[in-house]
Structure 1
Amino acid sequence: MNVLLIMSDEHRRDAMGCSGHPVVQTPYLDNLGRKGTRFTNAYCNSPLCIPSRASFATGRHVHEIEYWDNDKPYSGTPNSWGSYLDERGVKVVTIGKLHFDPSKTNGFMDQRYPRQTGNDPAGLYREPVQKREQARSRFEEAGSGDSWVQSTELETQAAIDFIASEAGQQESPWVLWLNYLPPHFPLIAPPSFYDLYPEDRVDLPYDYPSKEYHPAMEELRNHFDGRNLDESILRRTRAAYYGLVTYIDNQIGRVVQALEQSGLAENTLIVYTSDHGELLGDHELWWKSAMYEQSVGIPLIMAGPTIARNAVRSDPISLIDLAPTIAEAVGVAPDPVWQGRSFLSVAQGQEYRPVSESILSQYHAHGVSHGIFMIRKGRFKYIYYPSFPAQLFDLDADPLEMHDLSTVSDYASIIAELHAELIRRVDPDAVDQRALANQRERRRAYKASIGSH
Structure 2
Amino acid sequence: MFQLYLRQFLLLIMVALSAGVRAQHNVPGKRPNILFIFTDDQRRVGTFLSPDLLKTPVLDSLAHSGISFQNSYIMGGTSGAVCAPSRGSMFTGRSVFEMRGNYGQVIPDSLILLPQYLKANGYYTWMTGKWHNEYAPFVRSFSGGASIFFSGMGPQYAFRVNDFRADGQYTQGNSRPAPEGVHATDLFADEAIRFLESYKEDDPFFAYVAFKTPHDPRTVALAFQHLYDPATTKLPPNFLPEHPFDNGDLRIRDEQLAAFPRDSTEIRKHIADYYAMITHIDQRIGDILNVLKRKGLDKNTLVIFASDNGLAVGQHGLMGKQNLYEHSVGVPLIFSGPGVWPHQSGKALTYLTDIFPTLCNYLGLPVPAKEQMMGESLLPALQGKVFSGRTSQYYIYANYQRALRKGPYKLIEYLVKGTRHTQLFNLDTDPWETRDIAGAKNMQPVIRQLRAEMQRWHQRTHDPMPVFYGTAVSK
TM-score range, shorter chain: 0.7 to 0.9
Return the letter of the residue paired with 1:55. S
- Cα separation, 2, equivalents of 1:163 and 1:327: 23
Contact preservation (8 Å) 1:8, 1:179 = yes
Shifted more, 152-161 versus 255-264: the winner is: 152-161
Counterpart in the other structure of 1:174 = 205
Alpha-carbon distance, 1:147 to partner: 9.7
Counterpart in the other structure of 1:419 = 451
Contact preservation (8 Å) 2:37, 2:305 = yes
Counterpart in the other structure of 1:373 = 402
Cα deviation 1:171-216 (Å, max 9, x = unaligned): 3x32111100110011111122121101211112444435872331
**3-state DSSP of counterpart to 2:292:** helix
1:308 aligns with 2:363: no
- Cα separation, 2, equivalents of 1:348 and 1:11: 26
Return the letter of the residue paired with 2:384. G
1:185 aligns with 2:219: no
**3-state DSSP of counterpart to 1:198:** coil
Structure 1 runs not aligned, ≥5 long? 121-145, 365-369, 435-453
Counterpart in the other structure of 2:323 = 290
- Cα separation, 1, equivalents of 2:264 and 2:426: 30
Alpha-carbon distance, 1:162 to partner: 2.2
Contact preservation (8 Å) 2:183, 2:221 = no
Contact preservation (8 Å) 1:18, 1:30 = no
Counterpart in the other structure of 1:90 = 123
Alpha-carbon distance, 1:346 to partner: 0.5
Return the letter of the residue paired with 2:441. S
Counterpart in the other structure of 2:97 = 63
- Cα separation, 1, equivalents of 2:325 and 2:424: 11
1:343 aligns with 2:378: yes
Picking from 23, 39, 43, the partner of 1:12 is 43
Cα deviation 1:354-377 (Å, max 9, x = unaligned): 5x622222121xxxxx33222222
Q: TM-score scaled by structure 2?
A: 0.77
- Cα separation, 1, equivalents of 2:407 and 2:221: 40
Counterpart in the other structure of 1:51 = 85
Contact preservation (8 Å) 2:52, 2:233 = no
Picking from 433, 446, 459, the partner of 1:401 is 433
Q: 1:319 to 1:228 in 2, by over 3 A?
A: same
- Count of residue pairs the alignment pairs up: 397
Structure 2 runs not aligned, ≥5 long? 1-31, 155-178, 468-475
- Cα separation, 1, equivalents of 2:324 and 2:129: 27
Counterpart in the other structure of 1:204 = 235
1:266 aligns with 2:295: no
Q: 1:104 to 1:304 in 2, by over 3 A?
A: closer
Counterpart in the other structure of 2:14 = none
- Cα separation, 1, equivalents of 2:207 and 2:385: 26
Shifted more, 57-66 versus 258-267: the winner is: 57-66
- Cα separation, 1, equivalents of 2:69 and 2:366: 24
Picking from 231, 246, 265, the partner of 1:232 is 265
Alpha-carbon distance, 1:246 to partner: 0.2
Alpha-carbon distance, 1:82 to partner: 2.1
Q: TM-score scaled by structure 1?
A: 0.80
Alpha-carbon distance, 1:242 to partner: 0.7
**3-state DSSP of counterpart to 2:76:** coil
Contact preservation (8 Å) 2:241, 2:263 = no
Return the letter of the residue paired with 1:81. L
- Cα separation, 2, equivalents of 1:214 and 1:229: 15
Counterpart in the other structure of 2:191 = 158
Contact preservation (8 Å) 1:221, 1:284 = no
Alpha-carbon distance, 1:313 to partner: 1.6
Q: 1:200 to 1:296 in 2, by over 3 A?
A: same
Cα deviation 1:302-357 (Å, max 9, x = unaligned): 11122121221211111100111122233321112322111122022113125x62
Contact preservation (8 Å) 2:89, 2:99 = yes
- Cα separation, 2, equivalents of 1:296 and 1:269: 25
Counterpart in the other structure of 2:357 = 324
- Cα separation, 1, equivalents of 2:456 and 2:238: 34
Counterpart in the other structure of 1:32 = 62
Cα deviation 1:228-287 (Å, max 9, x = unaligned): 244432221111111000000011111111111111111111111100001001110012
- Cα separation, 2, equivalents of 1:309 and 1:119: 35
Contact preservation (8 Å) 2:184, 2:211 = no
Q: 1:148 to 1:290 in 2, by over 3 A?
A: farther
Q: 1:149 to 1:40 in 2, by over 3 A?
A: farther
Cα deviation 1:279-298 (Å, max 9, x = unaligned): 00111001201111110000
Cα deviation 1:415-450 (Å, max 9, x = unaligned): 22222222112249961269xxxxxxxxxxxxxxxx
- Cα separation, 2, equivalents of 1:212 and 1:151: 32
Contact preservation (8 Å) 1:392, 1:404 = yes
Return the letter of the residue paired with 2:209. L
Return the letter of the residue paired with 1:353. S
Alpha-carbon distance, 1:104 to partner: 5.2
- Cα separation, 1, equivalents of 2:153 and 2:344: 40
Return the letter of the residue paired with 1:394. N
Counterpart in the other structure of 1:439 = none
Contact preservation (8 Å) 1:391, 1:405 = yes
Instruction: Percent identity, please.
Output: 28
**3-state DSSP of counterpart to 1:117:** coil
1:353 aligns with 2:385: no
**3-state DSSP of counterpart to 1:181:** strand
Return the letter of the residue paired with 1:345. P
Return the letter of the residue paired with 2:199. E
Alpha-carbon distance, 1:399 to partner: 0.4
